[in-house]
Amino acid sequence: MGRREKPIDPGAGPVQRFAFALRKLREEAGGPTYRAMAQKAGYSTAALSRAAAGEILPSLPLTLAYVQACGGNPQEWEQRWQAARDEEAHRPRDPDEELTDPPYRGLARFEPGDHARFFGRTRLT
């Protein structure tokens, strides 16, 4: 027997509500294991588990594979996925959520416009 899934609050937002519905579909299909679903769906057990975790909206192909592995209606779930995606996109963001770019740019070089990110070497330069 696998690990228990963390509870999801369907009232927390469209992604959580969608994941809650995916879990319900799986339960109504007899509660197949993610391993059994993976054999039918062509996705890993981890990907299928993340689809129903409620942290991010899964991709449409992953969602449809999950649904088909549970015997659900792909057309109905595609509409549900699109509705969840649209609702999440129009959802107001938390004002405390940091929207700034991180100071480290990865492998991209610093340009003159990045002067505010490059500091602490005034004496050296």
Give the CATH number of the domain where residue 22 resides: 1.10.260.40
pLDDT bin (cut points 50, 70, 90) of residue 34 is: confident
Does some domain include residue 117? no
Spatial CA neighbour of 17 closest among 88, 90, 72, 95: 88
Q: What is the mean pLDDT of residues 5-29?
A: 87
Alpha-helical segments (H) within 29-109: 34-41, 45-51, 60-69, 74-89
Does some domain include residue 84? yes
Q: What is the mean pLDDT of residues 13-38?
A: 89
Please report, to the nearest 10 degrees, the dihedral formed by the alpha carbons of residues 36, 72, 2, 57 taken in order: 120
Q: Is the pLDDT of residue 75 over 90?
A: yes
Does some domain include residue 110? no
User: What total number of domains does the chain contain?
Assistant: 1
Residue ranges making up the domain that contains 36: 10-89
* Range scoring the smallest mean pLDDT among 16-30, 83-97, 106-120: 106-120
